[in-house]
Amino acid sequence: MPEQLIPTSVVLGAWVATGLTLFIYSFLYKDNPLFKLGEHLYVGVSIGYSVVLVWYTVFFRLLWEPLKKGIAEHPAALGTYEPVIPALLGLLILTQFFPRVSWLSRIAFAFIVGFGSGVAIPRTVSSYILKQIEDTVNPLITMGANGLSMGFDLASPQSGINTIILLIGVVSVLFYFFFSVEHSGPGMVAARTGIYFLMIAFGAAFGYTVMSRMSLLIGRFRDLITFAGAEYGYATPVLLLVTVLSLAGWELAARRKGGEE
């Protein structure tokens, strides 16, 4: 079976991607012009991409097309011009750039913040507070076929023993953060318990963060390995050599300049 040739645009893309990746990784040696170039390119491309998407999604899809369709079909209907209201509010936000009329943006922000605060209150209370408290005060003793029983299986998160541990943890951590009451006597025991629970959770968070960051590295290395192949013109080894030589040249030049000074 003949080998499928990779399109030129893909090979070119592989070289660009590999080069940019190695430019960013050059920061591991030292902050240098290659890294700064990659960094600024990243910000620039992200902004450019966002602008294009906002233009086509917001201005075209959500504003222009509904207006155009509405005016064509029902020019006299008031509802046709409804998208003008959020457009006007959006334009008010942009008055921030003109100091004399920047106060107009407050009207738009008041609208946004008022709506956001209003919708958040009942939903936050329901989802984050009530539901969480509900699960914290689960019954310890349950009625089964053999009568009343309490679970002591640590491996089962819903067992009685784990419910007790969970309750102690939640209350002690909440107490630790309650600074209006002095942490002395029984309060100190509760606060110290809370601290140890916190340390366990932070340790777990660190472990998961390590896992996450290493996964990102694995992903990038996998791409570099793929682009090291002959079908991509050995992009990785060639560009690695170019990057190393560039860094060496830059370092030598910097040391020579430092020596002269």
Partner 1 sequence: MKGLLKDLARRMIAIDRRIIFLLIACATLLPLLNPFGLPIKVSPEVQAVYEYIEAMPERSVFLLSFDFDPSSKPELEPQAVALLRHAFRKNLRVIVMTHWITGTGLADGVVTQVAAETGKTRGKDYVFLGWAPGGYALIISMGQDLYKAFPSDYSKTPTLGMPVLEGVRNLRDVNYMVSLAAGGAGIEMWYVFGKDKYRFEMAGGATGVIAPGLYPFLRSGQINGLIGGLQGAAEYETLIGRKGMAVAGMDAQSATHFVIIVLVVLCNVFYFALRGDKGKRV
Partner 2 sequence: MIFLKRQLPLAITFVMGVAFALQYYIPHPVSEAAITKVSDWMKIISGFALVLGIASVFHVHAVKIRRQAPGWGYSGVLFAAIVTTMAVGFWSGGESKADGSQTAFGWLYDYTMVPLQGTMFSILAFFIASAAYRAFRARSPEASVLLVSAVVVMMGRVPLGQTLLPGMQISIGQFLFKIPGAWDITQWLMNVLNSAVRRAILIGVSMGSVALSLKIILGKERSYLGGGKDQ
Q: What angle do CA 140, 146, 151 make, to 5 degrees?
A: 30
Q: Which of residues 25-84 bind partner 1 (CB under 8 A)?
A: 28-29, 46, 49-50, 53-54, 57-58, 61-62, 65-66
Determine the Cα–Cα distance for residues 160 and 172; give it in Å rounded to an integer.
18
Task: State which residue, 78 or 216, has the beta carbon closest to partner 1.
Answer: 216
Choose the one of partner 1, partner 2, none that binds residue 188, judging by a C-beta under 5 to 8 angstroms depending on kind.
none
9 token code pair? 């645009």
Determine the Cα–Cα distance for residues 31 and 23; give it in Å rounded to an integer.
10
- Give min distance, CB of 91 to partner 2, in A: 7
Sequence-distant (6+) residues with CB within 8 A of 162 are 151, 154, 156
- Give min distance, CB of 156 to partner 2, in A: 9
Assess contact for 227 and 235: CB atoms under 8 A.
yes
What mask, x for binding partner 1 by CB under 8 A, covers residues 97 to 136? ------------------xx--xx--xx-xxx--xx-xx-
User: Which one of 3-11, 74-82, 171-179, 210-218 is the stretch in contact with partner 1 (CB under 8 A)?
Assistant: 210-218
Q: Does 215 bind partner 1 (CB under 8 A)?
A: yes
User: Which one of 3-11, 140-148, 208-216, 234-242 is the stretch in contact with partner 1 (CB under 8 A)?
Assistant: 208-216
Q: Does 7 bind partner 1 (CB under 8 A)?
A: no
Choose the one of partner 2, partner 1, none that binds residue 39, judging by a C-beta under 5 to 8 angstroms depending on kind.
partner 2
162 token code pair? 């784990």
Q: Does 164 bind partner 1 (CB under 8 A)?
A: no
Choose the one of partner 1, partner 2, none that binds residue 131, judging by a C-beta under 5 to 8 angstroms depending on kind.
partner 1
Assess contact for 89 and 105: CB atoms under 8 A.
no
Assess contact for 159 and 153: CB atoms under 8 A.
yes
Determine the Cα–Cα distance for residues 62 and 75; give it in Å rounded to an integer.
18
Continuous segment of H or E residues that includes residue 233: none
Q: Does 140 bind partner 1 (CB under 8 A)?
A: no
In eight-state DSSP terms, residue 57 is: I
Cβ of 242: how many Cβ atoms within 10 Å?
13
- Give min distance, CB of 201 to partner 1, in A: 7
Q: What angle do CA 218, 223, 228 make, to 5 degrees?
A: 120
Task: State which residue, 101 or 121, has the beta carbon closest to partner 1.
Answer: 121
Assess contact for 32 and 247: CB atoms under 8 A.
yes
Q: Does 181 bind partner 1 (CB under 8 A)?
A: no
Return residues touching partner 1 (CB under 8 A). 28-29, 46, 49-50, 53-54, 57-58, 61-62, 65-66, 115-116, 119-120, 123-124, 126-128, 131-132, 134-135, 157, 166, 201, 204-205, 208-222, 225
